[in-house]
Amino acid sequence: GGLLYGAINLGGDVLRQSTELQQQLALIRTQFEQTGEAAAGISFDQYRRELAKTSVDTGVAADEVANVQRQLAGAFSDPETGALNFQRASDEGKVALRYSKVSNLPLQEITDSYTAVSLAFRDDAGVPLGFEKIADLLTMLENRFGVLGPEILKFTADLAPLGKELGFTAEQLAGLGAVAQKASGKSGQVLAEQLGRILPQMKEKSSELFDLFNQNAATRPEANGLLEAFASGDSAKALEILVRNYKLLDDAQRNTLANLVGGSRQAATFYALLDQSADTLRVLDPNGLPDDSGAFDRRWQSYKETVTANVEQMRRAVEELGQSLFEAGLGDALAGMAAGAK
């Protein structure tokens, strides 16, 4: 009796999720018709098949997968025509869903954070940074510095527009978050708030920083380079010069530097980067970190071997079978089974 009751309950869940999925797919089909398959990058039938595969692969209900991908299709729409890119939404959605399982972060938070980083750090052709690249970067920084990837994601997402404007790459910005978290133990949100004040303040005080360097015989040769880096919009280079020369400043000059970047509270985070100068210089160097290609995929493959992941995948496979039955016209039968169990 218990087994039958469980099966009927599962049938009720399948019916509910199938109904919700059908509602999502109806909206998506309309969007496909308005966008056109060429602009969407994928046919609707192929998209539907990929959605089912993603649901089984990640253990996330198909209606939730569809909801995430609808949001991403808008986020990655063509900037000129506004056409929704469902191919990109399908690819990036899979990464976001996988990361939500590995990190235990809420799916909406991951989707928002990944999208913020992706759209801020476009390449020269205007193409947003891929989610897989972001996941690889976060995983590599976790492995390299012993920090929490989700916190680095929050940090990078909060600072992404500012970081890009100030001349940092996604790798440099996320790397700074990793070094600061390792040294201070603060959350990504707190670090982002403090560095979000320090970095613009450094640029605003570039003349005073030039004078500070010019007053010291040991740092004077770097003074012009520091000013030029700020003037050219390359705050990453300016920060590298500051970190590399910090130990050459005397105590009075170091106190002056702390006041210039915004006072003791902000300076504490700044000093975390200065104290960990070797790591800070490493993440600012474009070639300073190890190759991160495939780092997240290796983490995902390890996760898939867990019992939890296997159970979730089995459940989604059953739901996908139920969805196929529902689409074949057997939804009423499932509804009757669910009602009869009550």
pLDDT in tens, 125-158: 889 999 999 999 999 999 999 999 999 999 999 9
The pLDDT-based confidence of 7 (bands split at 50, 70, 90) is very low
Question: H-type helices in 80-232, by residue range?
Answer: 86-103, 107-120, 131-145, 149-165, 170-184, 188-204, 206-214, 220-231
Question: For 233, which DSSP code?
Answer: T
Tokens 């309950």 label which residue?
9
Angle at 152 between CA 149 and CA 153, to 5 degrees: 85
User: How much is the pLDDT for 16?
Assistant: 64
Amino acid identity for residue 185 in this structure: G
User: How much is the pLDDT for 159?
Assistant: 97
Compute and round to an integer the Cα radius of gyration of the chain.
Answer: 25
The pLDDT-based confidence of 39 (bands split at 50, 70, 90) is confident
The pLDDT-based confidence of 68 (bands split at 50, 70, 90) is very high
H or E element at residue 23: helix 2-35
User: How much is the pLDDT for 320?
Assistant: 63
Half-sphere exposure of 157 (CA within 13 A, CB side): 20
* Alpha carbons 326 and 14: distance in angstroms, whole number: 9
Percent share of the chain, pLDDT over 70: 83
The pLDDT-based confidence of 4 (bands split at 50, 70, 90) is very low
User: How much is the pLDDT for 337?
Assistant: 43
User: How much is the pLDDT for 13?
Assistant: 58
User: How much is the pLDDT for 21?
Assistant: 82
CB pairs under 8 A, 24+ apart, for 30-33? Answer: 31/70, 31/73, 31/84, 31/86, 32/86
pLDDT in tens, 244-267: 999 999 999 988 988 888 766 667
CB pairs under 8 A, 24+ apart, for 272-277? Answer: 272/179, 272/180, 272/183, 272/184, 273/176, 273/179, 273/180, 273/183, 273/239, 273/243, 274/242, 274/243, 274/246, 275/183, 276/179, 276/182, 276/183, 277/243, 277/244, 277/246, 277/247
Residue 12: pLDDT above 70? no
Q: pTM (2 decimals)? A: 0.85
Q: Can you say how many angstroms the Cα of residue 258 is from the centroid of all Cα atoms in its chain?
A: 31
Mean pLDDT value across residues 326-342:
47
Any idea of the CA torsion for 160, 258, 279, 152, to the nearest 10 degrees?
-30
User: How much is the pLDDT for 335?
Assistant: 47
* Alpha carbons 298 and 102: distance in angstroms, whole number: 11
Provide the 3-class DSSP secondary structure of residue 42. Answer: coil
Amino acid identity for residue 121 in this structure: F
User: How much is the pLDDT for 341?
Assistant: 43
Percent share of the chain, pLDDT over 90: 63
pLDDT in tens, 195-207: 999 999 999 999 9
